[in-house]
Chains A and B, each alone.
Chain A
Amino acid sequence: MKRLKPVNVVIVGGGWTGLAMAAEVTRRTSLNVLVLERGPMHRTKDYASTMDELDYSIRLRFMQNIADETVTHRHSAKNPSVPVRQYGSFLPGSGVGGAGEHWNGNSFRYSPEVFRLASHLKERYPATVLPESLAVQDWGISYEELEPYYWRVERMMGVSGKAGNLRGKLIDGGNIFEGRREFEYPTPPLKRSYFMTLFEESVKKLSYHPYPVPAATLSEAYRNPDGISRPGCAYCGYCETFGCMIGAKAQPTNTLMPLLSQRNNFELRTGSWVRRLVKESQRVTGVQYTNEAGEEVFQPADVVILASFTLSNVRLLSLSGIGTPYDPASGKGTLGKNLTHQIMTKLNLFFDHPMNAFMGTGALGTAISDFDGDQALKGTEGILRGGSLLAISTGNRPIQSFDTLPPGAVPSNWGSQWKKTALTWRDKVGTIVLFGEHMSYRQNFMDLDPTYTDKFGDPLLRLTLDWTDHEQRQRQFSYGIFKNIAREIGAAAHAAAPPVHPYTVTQYQSTHLQGGAIMGTTRANSVVNTSLQHWDAPNLWVVGASSFPQNASVNPTLTVLAVTYRAADALIDQYLKHPGALA
């Protein structure tokens, strides 16, 4: 195998976390940094010609090609696994910027108690109430430690929003349930769609506390501390699964790449498919990858930063034999444990007048956190954690929104009567969503599949994952809230209670898969320490949502980046000065 010229730092993955690490190391040190990205380059100027629902939302041109590599799924360790043959429940991105190019831009902070969930549950509930299989852990870091890093990410992106807790003072119109913020958002909230105004009026009448969804999409022109200027949002409705053609939505290619491309200690190699990390005794010596020409090469490096998607981070560690695979039967081992996703429950509200819902932007919405965490729970709901509720105006595109009808409105889903009914209800729909907190359980984990392989013949990652009674009850709980809102808002119709069903790979939840290489305070309970340094190899750092011990209710990107910047500080300020395991 060809051995390439050594570099100081090699980073696997050119998405938000990989490029953020690269930006910090190249800014603050003279070390040379190489980013290996399997997909192609993306640029803002190319995005206008991608405003095509068919190729980008249906055929998913910005996603990893599932024909090359996928994951397998089984509901429990007793079942055989089968491959996810077509994308459904999550959409991993490919190319420079990764999923950070085609995300919606929802930029919430996690609430303080999320970081000490295991302790919090023990304080709040008697032990008998907690499911035996519950595997939640404290993160080992606190909200207070992360607050300055959250602020850094918010300024880098120019997050638009309204503070609800400014230095301890609760502010009406912001999220009064959020953790203490030191500063107001860098840019004011986005404009409000018609549906958002209807939602806001109704939930206020129900004594809830609506606030604008914090968005990585600018409400007005903004220049960030790095000197990068971007314009305000145009509400074109092409956000999720698309790149922003004007750069209003913060993406790695319009915030970090402009800095990196100016730095002579930075190199990016696209079309580079990393296959293995190579570990010798207590060190990782570099990575093996297949380059654009199809050759297998070895890239030596002093420091390796694994910064790909959750699933790829866990798979690469597993394929490389780094760490001890988790065994659900004995509870021993840590690699692959605490796989979580997100329990999304959705309700379409039907109105008798038009919404003009083709206008919007990915993170345009009004949220309420009154049911987040456990502040609203009386103990009779049969659940330990709730979730965040959003009324969204992401922008309805015609193919995916056409067949949206009140349940039972028409017996068939084709033919004259169906068409007429669909046209009658066209553009009279508003959607509310509850993102439920998904806790970790002993039986939900990741390992390598014994049967199915990728295009190179390497084993696929296997997800063992199902909803428990808790998630089914969260769905029912969501529906109870939805019904009250539907009544108050005066909806002409809405859907029935969601059915109880097992985890479904064909149904979109979110791309917020988490865990598998979780952070913690001891090597016995985690794969990486709280600085995201691997316990078994001090020159290996594993960044991303793979480090989250369980899922919070809201979108993870802001938190992913906050812990990444914190890891960058630990790498630069501590490790590089005294290479070795951090105390």
Chain B
Amino acid sequence: MRRREFLAIPAAALGGSLWYTLAGQPIRTNPDKGTLHIPLRFFTATEAQTISAACERIFPSDESGPGASEAGVVVYIDRQLAGPYGRDQFRYTKGPFVSSLPEHGYQGKATPREIYREGIGMLGAFSSLSAEQQDQKLKSLEETVFFQMLRIHTIEGMFCDPMHGGNAGMIGWQLIGFPGPQMGYRQDIDAHYGSAFRPQSKSLEQILGHPVRVLEDT
């Protein structure tokens, strides 16, 4: 068994509440104090830092609002890779493996775990680069299976239900005004025509009042 690895993050850096100024400028607040030590299931602490930095360039935290860091996208990816998806249990993996047309999708043998390990190698000392250098590095990897997977996973980690480890504090849903899996909108579906209707976001577990067994834990 490998040594337990943790991702150390200041609690205030994750999740929180999103507000907008009158000028439409997003402001995130989180009064939480201390440091969170999140146990890693697949990545080493160094690998997690590398992936976290790459996700942050894909979906940056900037003047248009919070990004991959505040959503804890790397935690989401870590759990996905540790679970059955990471081991390719939802893909047809019998050979022979042949290269084919783009219309046939990814035909390779490597599992998501293997693709990430190779990708982390390609990123090298990514977290020590400047933002511009990081963007250049990612640009050079744009056509790889790894980068395309990382980009999709970053979006998933931004907007998945928080029970999957990403979208911490529903910060992603607050950013786009998604209310979560609410029980219905019978009175609202044919109202609010042309103006924004934004009920407060709720997670599935908040709505149900009990925990849900997610696929990565099976």
**Are B155 and A416 touching (Cβ within 8 A)?**
no
Let me know if B98 is at the binding interface, CB within 8 A: yes
| Binary CB contact string for chain A from 434 to 451 against chain B (1 if under 8 A, 0 otherwise) | 000000000000000001
CB-contact partner of B208 in A48, A82, A413, A426, under 8 A:
A48
**Are A398 and B176 touching (Cβ within 8 A)?**
yes
Partner-contacting stretch, out of A4-12, A187-195, A383-391? A187-195
Partner-contacting stretch, out of B11-19, B33-41, B187-195? B187-195
Contacts of A194 in B (CB 8 A): 190, 192-194
- Bound Cα distance from A66 to B89, whole angstroms: 9
CB-contact partner of B182 in A193, A232, A236, A416, under 8 A:
A236
- Within the complex, what minimum Cβ distance (angstroms) separates B151 from chain A? 6
Contacts of B195 in A (CB 8 A): 353-354
- Bound Cα distance from A400 to B8, whole angstroms: 30
- Within the complex, what minimum Cβ distance (angstroms) separates A230 from chain B? 14
Contacts of B189 in A (CB 8 A): 191, 193, 235, 359-360
CB-contact partner of B178 in A49, A245, A398, under 8 A:
A398
Let me know if A73 is at the binding interface, CB within 8 A: yes
**Are A356 and B103 touching (Cβ within 8 A)?**
no
Contacts of A245 in B (CB 8 A): 183
CB-contact partner of B185 in A66, A82, A235, A506, under 8 A:
A235
- Bound Cα distance from A192 to B212, whole angstroms: 33
Let me know if B31 is at the binding interface, CB within 8 A: no
Contacts of B212 in A (CB 8 A): 49, 52
| Binary CB contact string for chain B from 178 to 215 against chain A (1 if under 8 A, 0 otherwise) | 11011111101110111111000000100110101011
Contacts of A86 in B (CB 8 A): 90-92, 105-106
**Are B186 and A234 touching (Cβ within 8 A)?**
yes
- Bound Cα distance from A502 to B156, whole angstroms: 29
CB-contact partner of A419 in B60, B96, B194, under 8 A:
B60
Contacts of B192 in A (CB 8 A): 194, 356
Contacts of B184 in A (CB 8 A): 233-236, 246
**Are A59 and B85 touching (Cβ within 8 A)?**
yes
Contacts of B173 in A (CB 8 A): 398
Q: Which of A22-60 contact B (CB under 8 A)?
A: 48-49, 51-55, 58-60
Contacts of B103 in A (CB 8 A): 75, 501-506
Let me know if A84 is at the binding interface, CB within 8 A: yes
- Within the complex, what minimum Cβ distance (angstroms) separates B204 from chain A? 6
- Bound Cα distance from A264 to B163, whole angstroms: 42
Let me know if A420 is at the binding interface, CB within 8 A: yes
Let me know if B62 is at the binding interface, CB within 8 A: yes
| Binary CB contact string for chain B from 116 to 137 against chain A (1 if under 8 A, 0 otherwise) | 0000000000000000000100
Let me know if A423 is at the binding interface, CB within 8 A: yes
Contacts of B58 in A (CB 8 A): 414-415
Let me know if B169 is at the binding interface, CB within 8 A: no
- Within the complex, what minimum Cβ distance (angstroms) separates B102 from chain A? 8
Do A423 and B176 form a contact, CB below 8 Å, given A66-B91, A414-B59, A414-B151?
yes
Q: Which of A223-265 contact B (CB under 8 A)?
A: 232-238, 245-246
Contacts of B106 in A (CB 8 A): 85-86
Let me know if B113 is at the binding interface, CB within 8 A: no
In the complex, the chain B residue whose C-beta lies closest to that of A68 is: B92
Contacts of B175 in A (CB 8 A): 423
- Bound Cα distance from A360 to B101, whole angstroms: 36
Tell me whether chain B's interface is mostly helix, strand or loop, or mixed. Answer: loop
In the complex, the chain B residue whose C-beta lies closest to that of A364 is: B189
**Are A85 and B105 touching (Cβ within 8 A)?**
yes
- Bound Cα distance from A260 to B73, whole angstroms: 46
**Are A52 and B181 touching (Cβ within 8 A)?**
yes
Let me know if A514 is at the binding interface, CB within 8 A: no
Contacts of A420 in B (CB 8 A): 62, 64
**Are A58 and B156 touching (Cβ within 8 A)?**
yes
**Are A399 and B62 touching (Cβ within 8 A)?**
no
Let me know if B4 is at the binding interface, CB within 8 A: no
- Within the complex, what minimum Cβ distance (angstroms) separates B77 from chain A? 12
Contacts of A236 in B (CB 8 A): 181-185
Q: Which of B148-179 contact A (CB under 8 A)?
A: 151, 154-156, 158-161, 163-164, 172-173, 175-179
Contacts of B101 in A (CB 8 A): 75, 502
Contacts of A66 in B (CB 8 A): 90-92
B67, B102, B135, B183, most chain A CB atoms within 10 A: B183
**Are A234 and B183 touching (Cβ within 8 A)?**
yes
**Are A53 and B177 touching (Cβ within 8 A)?**
no
Q: Which of A327-361 contact B (CB under 8 A)?
A: 353-354, 356, 358-360
**Are B214 and A415 touching (Cβ within 8 A)?**
no
- Bound Cα distance from A360 to B91, whole angstroms: 31
Do A88 and B105 form a contact, CB below 8 Å, given A235-B185, A398-B159?
yes
**Are B177 and A427 touching (Cβ within 8 A)?**
yes
Let me know if B72 is at the binding interface, CB within 8 A: no
Contacts of B102 in A (CB 8 A): 504
Do A398 and B172 form a contact, CB below 8 Å, given A359-B188, A416-B64?
yes
Do A415 and B60 form a contact, CB below 8 Å, given A48-B208, A52-B181, A66-B92?
yes
Contacts of B135 in A (CB 8 A): 415
Q: Which of B38-96 contact A (CB under 8 A)?
A: 57-60, 62, 64-65, 67, 85, 88-94, 96
CB-contact partner of B60 in A83, A88, A413, A416, under 8 A:
A416
**Are B156 and A83 touching (Cβ within 8 A)?**
no
Let me know if B2 is at the binding interface, CB within 8 A: no
Do A51 and B204 form a contact, CB below 8 Å, given A67-B91, A236-B185, A415-B58?
yes
Let me know if A125 is at the binding interface, CB within 8 A: no
**Are A53 and B161 touching (Cβ within 8 A)?**
yes
**Are A61 and B215 touching (Cβ within 8 A)?**
yes
- Within the complex, what minimum Cβ distance (angstroms) separates A366 from chain B? 13
Contacts of B62 in A (CB 8 A): 416, 419-420
**Are B105 and A399 touching (Cβ within 8 A)?**
no
- Bound Cα distance from A129 to B62, whole angstroms: 59
- Within the complex, what minimum Cβ distance (angstroms) separates A237 from chain B? 8
Let me know if B100 is at the binding interface, CB within 8 A: yes
Contacts of A398 in B (CB 8 A): 159, 172-173, 176, 178
Give 9 pairs: A residue, B residue, CB < 8 Å, sorted on A.
A52-B163, A75-B101, A234-B184, A353-B194, A358-B179, A399-B156, A414-B58, A416-B60, A504-B103
Given contacts A49-B208, A353-B194, A505-B104, 8 further A-B contacts (CB under 8 A): A85-B107, A86-B90, A359-B189, A398-B172, A398-B178, A414-B138, A416-B60, A451-B96
* List of 3 A-B pairs having minimum Cβ-Cβ separation, nearest first: A234-B184, A51-B181, A398-B159
